[in-house]
Amino acid sequence: MDTPVGMAMAEPATAAAPRHVEAEGGPFGIKGLAWAIFEGARNPYYNLIVIYVFAPYFASVLAGGGADALSLSGLTITIAGIVTALTAPFLGVIADKAGRRKPPLLFFVALLAVCSLALWWARPEGPLTMWPTMAVLAIAYCCYGYSEVLHNAMLPMAGRPSALPYISGLGLSTGNLLSVGILIFFLFGLLLPGSGLPFAPDQQLIVLDRESHAPERFAGPFVAVWMSLLVIPFFMFMPDGAPGGLSWKRAAADVFLGEPVEGEKRHSVFERARVFRRYLTGLFREHPQTMRFLIARTIYADAMSALLTLGAVFASTFLGWTGVEILFYGITGVLFGAVGGFVGGFLDRWLGPKLALVWEISALVILLLVQLSITPESLLFGLIPSGTPVWNSPFFDTLSDITYFLFVIPVAIAVVASISSSRYMLVHIAPRERIGEFFGLYAIAGTVTVWMGPGIVSLLTWITGNQRVGMGGIGFMFLIGLIVLWKVKVSKIADAAR
């Protein structure tokens, strides 16, 4: 049977083909550390710009707040996600042919830094008003996705094969820990000083005008400088990739045009697409349960992505939370999310991965429903009045605010637990001899449709003019993913026997 490896990833029959050499070194070797630090350089962009700091500012100030703001925020992510989904796979194929990955990676990182820097001028009076800011955010989002493709493709060069899982985990840990540290810096160094709270400093570490939302806009240049400095070890010490590949221009021509190489006709991109379709058809025929699980995971993972990226925007535009409250919300979610990995592992052992996922996703549906029952004036769809202050505090002073804030704890635990259980479910259900292949499909499925959740939220919000209905689309996606997951048949053989 033809496979994408045989055609879509085929190397030109020429002496210039990339030569792959097995790398050496452990997770704390110079190459492993350089690869991991790149995650710490890049990930703060997502937390500061896409989720917790700049995105709520864009929605509440530049986009004017309300339902239209939530719809526009979702539209920005949707457009950028579709563009990335349609182009990133081809970028990966071209990178495999060209061998050298540092030059294009440097270009995308530099463009991401420039876009981030430009956000300092994103103000209602200009020069970057709402629509130009949306364009800058979309370009930056695409660059973030492209850099992820190229960075992940260089993981095999970061150390010996046995060390790669640890290097990958070190990168995730580094990115998350540094992101939490940066969020705490923005909260206590820029937004809380002078608030009068007992634990708040008297002066900002960097004097920025709060009335013009300078701390929120400062997230852009901060990310630009942070990223520019922390990527230096990566470009200094990380090997470039397989030497001796084609030029990027020649590799792109081979992929898209099917140009001949030394008289041999190469397959065009359309022929490669047909082969890939036959490949997927064969997988559905040979391993229907594994593929059904991948479909379910794609749907509920898109819902989780929308919940994470638009949850802070919803709190800002619907509940009227300030930047300080959003940061408290984000830091609490990240910290308690770490507990989710242990919860997921416990449920996997107790119930098995399928039932664990059913419980975790069902919990997310219920938690989302309760969250959407909260308005600035009431709880449980109007049953409990909650709009009056219950204590003397500049933050989270109403029962609505306190309740919505506290719900981030179980939501974060359930999200991370479901991510852990999803990985274990694939190990449980996929054929052992093809586990790497299916994890590759697992990664692709979680990338190419990441725009779908924000797109549904944006569309429903735009049609109804109601933010809660728009966010309710996330629950609908969870339910569809849950239904597909329930139809997956898993073996009753003990995991220990696998």
Backbone angles phi, psi at 450, to 5 degrees: -65, -15
Where in the chain are the domains?
25-256, 285-488
pLDDT band at 437 (very low <50, low <70, confident <90, very high): low
Burial label, 185 (beta-carbon count in 10 A; 0-12, 13-18, 19+): middle
Tokens, residue 317: 């535009």
Tell me if domain 25-256 and domain 285-488 are identical in fold: yes
pLDDT of residue 165 exceeding 70, the answer is no
CATH assignment, 285-488:
1.20.1250.20
C-alpha dihedral (306, 311, 317, 322), degrees to nearest 10: -150
Q: What is the rounded distance in angstroms from the CA atom of residue 221 to the CA atom of residue 154? A: 27
Mind listing the pLDDT tens digit for each residue in 254-293? 666 665 544 445 555 566 667 667 767 877 787 788 888 8
Q: DSSP per residue over 216-258, as a string?
A: HHHHHHHHHHHHHHHTHHHHHHS--SSSS---HHHHHHHHHH-
pLDDT of residue 219 exceeding 60, the answer is yes
pLDDT of residue 96 exceeding 90, the answer is no
Q: What is the rounded distance in angstroms from the CA atom of residue 226 to the CA atom of residue 37? A: 12
Q: What is the rounded distance in angstroms from the CA atom of residue 54 to the CA atom of residue 190? A: 14
pLDDT of residue 22 exceeding 70, the answer is no
The whole-model pTM stands at 0.72
CATH assignment, 25-256:
1.20.1250.20
